[in-house]
Amino acid sequence: MDFAFMKETFLSLLSGAPLTLNLAFTSVAFGTVFAMILALMRLSGVSVLATVAQAYVFVFRGTPLLVQIFLIYYGLGQFRPALQEWGLWIFFREPYWCAVLALTLNTAAYASEIIRGGLQSVPHQQVEAARACGMSGFLLFRRIVFPIAVRQALPAYGSEIILMVKATSLASIITMMEVTGIAAKLISQTFRAVEIFVVAGLIYLIINFIITRIVMAIEWWLSPHLRRPPAVEPRLEAAHV
C-alpha cells in the first residue's frame, strides 16, 4: 500500500462526493413524494389504483437497478425522434437526469412499501382516541397518524437512504463522474485498482456513517417516550423514605 498515493487519491475522489450526494438526495427527495403517492394508492381501497401501484413495485423491486439505468439512458435513446417531437429529448439526452430518474423510480418502489408499513403500524386505538377527541381528516393525519408512521418507518427509511448513496456508484456507467466514476478513470490511468477502490470505499463509508448518525439523532428526537428516564439520586429516595 502506497499511503502517499492513497492520500492523493482521496483528495481526487473527494471532488466527486458532491455529485454523489446530489444524485442520492435528489433521487430520495423525488422518490419520497412518489413513494407517498404509491403507498396511498395501495391503501386507498380502490382495486385499480392498488393493482397499478402493486405492479409498479413488483417490476422495479424485481429488476436490477443497473438494467433500469441502461433502459432509461440507452433504451430510450432508440426513440430519439419521438422524444424530440414531444420535447423530452432535452431531458433524456443528459446522463444526470437519466441517473436521477432511474434512482428515483427505483427508490420509490422500495420506499412506498416502507411508508405503507409505517402507516399500517399506527395503533388503531390511538386513531380511535383521536377521533373521540374530535379530530378527523387531515388534522387526524397530521397530528396522530403521520408522526407515528414516520417514527416507525424511519429506521428502514434510513437504510434505504444509505442504499441509494451506494447505488449512485452505478451512475458511473453512463459517464457520470461521481466517486466511482473518478475512481474508474484513475484506475485506467494508473492501473492501481486496489488502493483506489479502498479509498473509494472509505469515502462511501464516511458518508454513510454521517447519514446513520443523522438518522439516529432524528429518531431520538422523535421518540421522547422511549428515552431512559433520569436516574433518581439516592438521597432523594432516602428523603421519601
Flag whether pLDDT at 235 surpasses 80. no
Flag whether pLDDT at 226 surpasses 70. no
CA distance 153 to 91: 33
- Count of residues in the chain: 241
Query: For residue 227, what pLDDT band results from cuts at 50, 70 and 90?
Result: low
Query: Taking a C-beta distance cutoff of 8 angstroms, is the pair 207, 14 a contact?
Result: no
Radius of gyration of the chain (CA): 23
What is the pLDDT at residue 135? 81
* Cα 211-26-21 angle, rounded to 5 deg: 45
In this prediction, residues 133-144 reach a mean pLDDT of 82
Q: pLDDT: is 229 or 98 the higher one?
A: 98
- End-to-end C-alpha distance for the chain, whole angstroms: 66
Flag whether pLDDT at 132 surpasses 90. no
* Residue that has been written with the C-alpha cell 393525519 in this structure: 141
* Residue that has been written with the C-alpha cell 386507498 in this structure: 44
In this prediction, residues 150-163 reach a mean pLDDT of 92
In the chain, pLDDT over 90 holds for what percent of residues? 63
Flag whether pLDDT at 237 surpasses 80. no
Flag whether pLDDT at 225 surpasses 80. no
Flag whether pLDDT at 143 surpasses 60. yes
In this prediction, residues 146-165 reach a mean pLDDT of 91
In this prediction, residues 137-157 reach a mean pLDDT of 86
* Cα 78-105-160 angle, rounded to 5 deg: 140
Query: For residue 180, what pLDDT band results from cuts at 50, 70 and 90?
Result: very high
Average pLDDT, the chain: 89
Note the pTM of the prediction, 2 decimals: 0.87
In this prediction, residues 168-183 reach a mean pLDDT of 93
At position 77, the amino acid (one-letter code) is: G
Flag whether pLDDT at 202 surpasses 70. yes
For residue range 24-36, list pLDDT tens digits in order. Answer: 999 999 999 999 9
For residue 176, give Cα distances in angstroms to 9, 15, 216: 18, 13, 31
CA 38 to chain centre: 15
